[in-house]
Structure 1
Amino acid sequence: MDLLGALGILVRVVETGSFSAVARERELSQAAVARQVSQLEEHFGVRLFHRTTRKLSLTDDGEMLLGLARPVLDGVDGLEAALGRQRGSPVGLVRVGVTVAASRILAQRLPILLADHPGLKVELVVGDRLGDMIEERLDLAMRVGEIKDASLVARRSGTAVRVVAAAPSYIERHGEPSIPAELANHTCIVHDVGPNSDVWTFVTPDGPKDFRASGGFLANDVRAVHLAARTGYGIAYLALFEVADDLRNGRLVRLLRDFPAPGVPFSLVYPSRRHLAPRTRLVIDFIWEQVRQVEAELATASDEARTA
């Protein structure tokens, strides 16, 4: 039995005063309407109506059920209305898992999106270590590297270019490496995001090769690594967009230009394509567009640096 449907018929029978009126309204037979009421009576084990040839009136149990049914049906109508609005417009909360560096970019740009969509809320869940999306209740997340989890839908967003950089003060004291192997003789700052975080990869004439970095400073927060590099402690291996401003204004100097680091793909991932809420789709498209803009800005800056 469709309990909600039967309760809806009960309410309408009481409101119209007849089975036949509800039958016409619902485009059902009068027998079908009566059967729904009978099923309610069987389900609850009570009689709901006093029936005579001329009049239909509720029993005490019918009155009680009617009083309880109306708030339930009103609540269902409210759910339908709320979710219906969500189907048509981006309202509600979207939880987005992002890296620390990406959070700084989005924090500056999200207010534009939120100003255009007053019913939308976006919560950034920030961290460089990858967690479980379901456990963290994330609607979507930015992930660096290849996505191996087949249960996730991945939308490839771009490629993170990494660079090696140090402060001018460090270079004045220690010089700079001319080849990646010389990093072994320098103080390096390690961004600790898991196993092999101290293994830095560079493209050499013989192809990509790994080199182990060493130093006394490790941090699982990219901001700490970045700041330590700016103070002149050592050499850092960071995403270009993280240090682009410092490279432009001279607070950091890019090293090993002849040995670029291979780009690392990053993607927007989410658990399922099915029933993807408009608010989530809107945020996905917005982030994707911001990534495109940042990549274009970095490409322009790199071209200017080469020609300067």
Structure 2
Amino acid sequence: MDIASALRTFLRVAQTGSFTAAAADLDLTQPAVSRQVSALETRLGVRLFHRTTTALALTAEGEHLIPLARRVVEAVEALGESAGAEREALAGRVRLALPAPLGLALAERLPALLACHPGLAVDLLLRETPSDLIGEGIDLEVRLGTSEDSSLTGRRIGWTTAFLVAAPSYLARHPAPTAPGEVPAHDCICYARAGDGRYWCFSNGADETRLAIVPRLVADSAVAVHRAALAGGGLAILSHILAGPDIAAGRLINLMPDFPPARLPITLVYPSRRNVPLRVRAVMDFVVEAVREDAQMAG
């Protein structure tokens, strides 16, 4: 039973003093109105009206219910108006979690989205491991690799592109690797995201090689790995978002370009595909567009 609808019907019957008149006002049949009131009486365990063939009168319990019913109906209607206003204005706060490199890139684009929707607010959460979306009240999260949580809705939106890099200062002391098998002999800086980071995978499109790495340095932040690589600490696998400008400027060298790090799916996950608020859908579309506009993630 829809309790709010039943209370609304009860109030209309009480106001008009007639099932027939209430039915006409509510655009229902008289039997439908009678069934709603009877169901409400059964639910509450009280009689709300004295009924005779010629008259209808509220019981004491019915009189007592009227102010309570009005508050419930008004609250439901206010909630509907608020949701409707949100749909019209695209307002509210969205909590978005994502890996640091992508978060840094999106942070440059978010002000334009917020400028288009003055009522919208975004909490940008940079996470190195998957979040508890329900427990933390997170609306959307970008995850790298396959999402194995069947309780969430997942949407693949792109693929990672990463480079094996080292600083010229490191390569001045160590010859650059030319094949994956030479990598474990080097000083390696590992990014420990969703695991210990001690395995690196490379792929040339046909073959994939998975290597066990004994790192000299392990960090749970991609930004920290980036800084250590720039300082000449060793080999590192970095997102194109972080490494691209440094490769172009010569601060980092792209190693083994014919056998790069294996690509991972980029997946957007959220609690449910049903009744997604407009504010969340707007941020979702923003993330998808940003990824697809980057040629190195859109493939």
Shorter chain as denominator, the TM-score bin is 0.7 to 0.9
Report if aligned partners of 1:12, 1:22 keep a CA contact under 8 Å in 2: yes
CA distance in 2, matches of 1:186, 1:209: 17
- Looking at structure 2, the residues matched to 13 and 171 of structure 1 have their Cα atoms a distance apart, in angstroms, of 85
Deviation at 1:226, TM superposition (A): 0.8
Contact 1:201 1:261 in 2 (8 A): yes
Corresponding residue of 1:121 = 121
Say which is worse superposed, 226-235 or 249-258, in terms of deviation: 249-258
Query: Which segments of 5 or more consecutive residues in structure 1 lack a partner in the other structure?
Result: 300-308
Provide the rounded CA distance (Å) in 2 between the counterparts of 1:34 and 1:258.
Answer: 76
Alpha-carbon spacing, 1:177–1:92, altered in 2? closer, same or farther (3 Å): same
Shift of 1:38: 5.9
Amino acid at match of 1:73: V
One-letter code aligned to 2:127:
G
CA distance in 1, matches of 2:83, 2:61: 33
What's the counterpart of residue 177 of structure 2?
Answer: 177
- TM-score, normalised to structure 2, is 0.82
Instruction: Please name the residue that 2:25 is paired with.
Output: 25
Seen in structure 2, the aligned counterparts of structure 1 residues 102 and 173 have a Cα distance that, compared at 3 Å, is same
**1:165-244 equivalences in 2 (<5 Å):** 165-195=165-195, 197-203=197-203, 207-244=207-244
Aligned letter for 1:210? Answer: R
Deviation (angstroms), 1:133: 3.6
Provide the C-alpha distance between the structure 2 equivalents of 1:52 and 1:204, rounded to a whole number of angstroms. Answer: 85
Counterpart for residue 161 of structure 2: 161
Where do 5+ consecutive residues of structure 2 fail to align?
Answer: none
Tell me the SS of whatever aligns to 2:218.
strand
Q: How many residues align?
A: 299
- Corresponding residue for residue 252 of structure 2: 252
**Cα pair distance change 1:70/1:180, threshold 3 Å:** same
Helix, strand or coil: the match of 1:174?
coil
SS at match of 2:251: coil
Q: Sort the Cα spacing of 1:28 and 1:208 in 2 relative to 1 into closer, same or farther, 3 A.
A: closer
1:91 is matched with which residue? 91
Compute the displacement of 1:225 (Å). Answer: 0.7
So what's the TM-score if we normalise by structure 1? 0.80
Give the alignment's Cα RMSD to 1 decimal: 3.4
Do the aligned partners of 1:93 and 1:121 also contact (CA within 8 Å) in 2? yes
Q: Deviations over 1:222-248 (max 9, x none)?
A: 111111111222221111122112222
Q: 1:104 to 1:4 in 2, by over 3 A?
A: same
The CA distance in 1 between the partners of 2:272 and 2:41, in whole Å, is 41
Alpha-carbon distance, 1:207 to partner? 2.8
SS of equivalent to 2:261 = coil
Judge which range, 225-234 or 8-17, deviates more: 8-17
Shift of 1:157: 1.7
Name which of structure 1's ranges 153-162 and 282-291 shifts more when overlaid on structure 2: 153-162
Q: Which amino acid is 1:104 matched to? A: L
Which residue in 2 is equivalent to 1:278? 278
Query: Which stretch shows the higher mean deviation, 47-56 or 6-15?
Result: 47-56
Q: Percent identity?
A: 41
Partners of 2:84 and 2:108 in 1: how far apart?
31
SS at structure 2 position matched to 1:156:
strand
